[in-house]
Amino acid sequence: MIQQLLLSVGAISAIASLLAILMVITDATIGNYGIVKLTINNNKEYEVKGGRPLLATLMDEGIFIPSACGGRGSCGLCKVKVLEGAGQYLPTELPWISEDEKKQDIRLSCQVKVKQDFRIEIPEELFNVKEFRGRVESIVDLTHDIKEIIITLIEPSEIEIRAGQFIQFKVPEYELTNEPVYRAYSVASSPSDKTRVELEIRLVPGGIGTTYVHKYLSEGGEVIFNGPHGDFFLRDTDREIVCIAGGSGMAPIKSILLDMNCKGVNRRTRYFFGARSKRDLFLEDTMAELEMSLPDFTFIPTLSEPKDGDNWEGETGLVTNILDKHLGKGSNVEAYLCGSPGLIDACVAILTKHRVPEELIYYDKF
Ligand SMILES: Cc1cc2nc3c(=O)[nH]c(=O)nc-3n(C[C@H](O)[C@H](O)[C@H](O)COP(=O)(O)OP(=O)(O)OC[C@H]3O[C@@H](n4cnc5c(N)ncnc54)[C@H](O)[C@@H]3O)c2cc1C
Ligand code: FES
């Protein structure tokens, strides 16, 4: 009996090894797709090396599709309309693609590979996204786990950005990654400062991008990023503005507020910021200055777990509860939210309860 069992296990192992060898051979022979034609928007043609993911292939041609997870299929940002060449949907794409998007041939560009002639459509503005080289001017601790990074542009020397948009930062090969990866970071500075970008980056323990920034990046070092990306920016209306953020979600909201200050926007604006305790709260001085200079702006920070030594006299509790308490009638409100998916989903529920129209709730989930 035991002998038979051992024989079966041996046979299964042998078949598995054979299959693995066959897969390697197949990849080395059939997997050589040669040069294929990539057509974009029916008017631009590229000869590209076949076999690589569409996202990486486009990047090689200087075309940068938004992505936040570095091509791991876990952010769902890299959607592209593929008219020809992509084949069946892959299981890794399905969680991100709605039935409606399937009808429009929307695919995850980091998952589909360019193995034959390909035809895609992308928004024309993506051709304006550029790759930038910059130098780290300063790195400052904003909290125990958030750093402010100021980058002065080298080439191109200026960036045109809308307040609230993000860039994709290139993390070079280092201890935690054997190939460069990209991570999305919102620009925290005012778009009027075209020669520099400021980022606010929170350390995710073990995270590839944030460990690099927090432990390896130094002042004077060179960095590469591409951008601008995203449609999280202030809409030009007369509605009241409600901003909500937590942690490094501060970054794009700060940029929006600085831009409003530059342009003299006088709409009623309330900014709810959630932190755990005093050590997670930052930029209070900047917010106080904005309260003085913007005509109708209130900063409402709240601590969910203030410590005894914090001497906190402001709002206490979850940002959702404080939002619920202050919001009032929301039908004339539009809202801008930035933070973790949990924070955003909970706040959207409160906003809609107060009759803020769902289509006027804009957010970036980090
Ligand atoms: C549009 C956009 C704008 C963004 N702007 C900013 C910004 O201004 N500042 C900023 O700090 N971040 C921002 N992010 C998040 C950022 O892109 C990275 O996801 C984050 O920095 C983690 O990257 P990492 O490489 O260190 O971690 P990874 O190596 O990608 O992840 C390591 C592990 O941590 C988990 N993880 C990833 N992110 C988080 C998280 N936030 N909290 C807890 N666990 C996590 C992953 O699931 C994984 O298990 C933004 C994201 C998006 C989509
Ligand atoms: S899903 Fe994140 S880059 Fe494709």
Q: Residues 59-70: what's their mean pLDDT?
A: 88
End-to-end CA distance of the chain: 56
Domain assignment present for 28: no
The domain total for the chain is: 3
Please, are residues 260 and 197 in contact by the beta-carbon 8 Å criterion?
no
Q: Residues 338-344: what's their mean pLDDT?
A: 94
216 & 269 share domain: no
CATH number, domain containing residue 356: 3.40.50.80
pLDDT tens, 253-299? 999 999 999 999 999 999 999 999 999 999 999 999 999 999 999 99
Establish whether residue 270 lines the binding site of ligand 1, counting it when its CB lies within 6 angstroms of any ligand atom. no
Establish whether residue 184 lines the binding site of ligand 2, counting it when its CB lies within 6 angstroms of any ligand atom. no
Q: What range does the domain containing 333 cover? A: 240-365
pLDDT of residue 118: 95
Which tokens in the block code for residue 246?
């937590």
Check whether 208 has a pLDDT greater than 60.
Answer: yes
Rounded CA-CA distance 35/39 in Å is 13
Establish whether residue 170 lines the binding site of ligand 1, counting it when its CB lies within 6 angstroms of any ligand atom. no
Q: Which of 328, 319, 316 is nearest to 278 (CA)?
A: 316
Mean pLDDT of the chain: 91
Ligand 2 atom at minimal distance to the Cα of residue 110:
4
91 & 76 share domain: yes
Q: Residues 296-320: what's their mean pLDDT?
A: 96
Ligand 2 atom at minimal distance to the Cα of residue 76:
1
Instruction: Provide the whole-model pTM.
Output: 0.87
Neighbours of 160 (CB within 10 A): 12
Establish whether residue 314 lines the binding site of ligand 2, counting it when its CB lies within 6 angstroms of any ligand atom. no
Q: Residues 139-148: what's their mean pLDDT?
A: 98
Domain assignment present for 5: no
For residue 163, the Cα-to-chain-centroid distance in whole angstroms is 15
Pocket test for ligand 1, best of 151, 174, 181, 185 (most atoms within 8 A of CB): 185
Establish whether residue 304 lines the binding site of ligand 1, counting it when its CB lies within 6 angstroms of any ligand atom. no
pLDDT of residue 2: 53
97 & 144 share domain: no
Establish whether residue 69 lines the binding site of ligand 2, counting it when its CB lies within 6 angstroms of any ligand atom. yes
Nearest ligand, measured from the Cα of 96: 2
Q: Rounded to 10 degrees, what is the CA torsion of 5, 10, 15, 19?
A: 130
Each residue of 99-129: b (16+ CB within 10 Å) or e? eeeeeebbbbbbbbbbbeebbbbbeeebeeb
Rounded CA-CA distance 303/220 in Å is 36
Domain assignment present for 209: yes
Ligand 1 atom at minimal distance to the Cα of residue 201:
11
Q: How confident is the model at residue 317 (pLDDT cuts 50, 70, 90)?
A: very high
pLDDT of residue 20: 45
Ligand 1 atom at minimal distance to the Cα of residue 251:
8
pLDDT of residue 16: 46
pLDDT of residue 366: 84
Check whether 119 has a pLDDT greater than 70.
Answer: yes
Establish whether residue 108 lines the binding site of ligand 2, counting it when its CB lies within 6 angstroms of any ligand atom. yes
Q: In what order do the strands lie in the sheet with 44-49?
A: 44-49, 35-40, 118-121, 79-84, 106-108
150 & 167 share domain: yes
120 & 141 share domain: no
Neighbours of 23 (CB within 10 A): 11
CATH number, domain containing residue 104: 3.10.20.30
Check whether 98 has a pLDDT greater than 60.
Answer: yes
255 & 361 share domain: yes
Establish whether residue 110 lines the binding site of ligand 2, counting it when its CB lies within 6 angstroms of any ligand atom. yes
Q: Residues 108-124: what's their mean pLDDT?
A: 95
